[in-house]
Structure 1
Amino acid sequence: MPAALHFPHAPLPPETEALRLEVRAFLADHQASWSARSVAQSWVGFDRDFTRAVGARGWIGMTWPTAYGGQDRSMLERYVVLEEMMAVGAPIGAHSTGDRQTGPLLLRLGTEDQKRAVLPRLARGEISICVGLSEPDAGSDLAAIRSRAEPAPGGWRLNGRKIWTTNAHQSAYMLGLFRTEGTASDRQKGLSQLLVDLSSPGIEIRGIRDLSGQAHFNEVTFDDVFVPDAGLIGEAG
Structure 2
Amino acid sequence: MSTTTRHHINRQRRLAQKPAPPVAAAAPPSGTTVPVDRDDATPKRRTRVSPDRQDSPAPTAADPGRARRALVAGLCLLTLLLGAFAGWAYAQTRGLEDDAATNNTALTDPARTSEVKGQAGKAVNALFSYDHANPEIQEKAAATYLTGKAVAQHRTLLAPVLAQAKKQKTVVTTTVTDSAVERIEGDRARVLVFADQSSTSTAAQAKDAANYAGAMLAVDLVHRDGRWLVSAIDTFGGS
TM-score (norm 2): 0.25
Name which one, 1 or 2, has greater alpha-carbon Rg.
Answer: 2
User: Which is helix-richer, 1 or 2?
Assistant: 2
TM-score (norm 1): 0.25
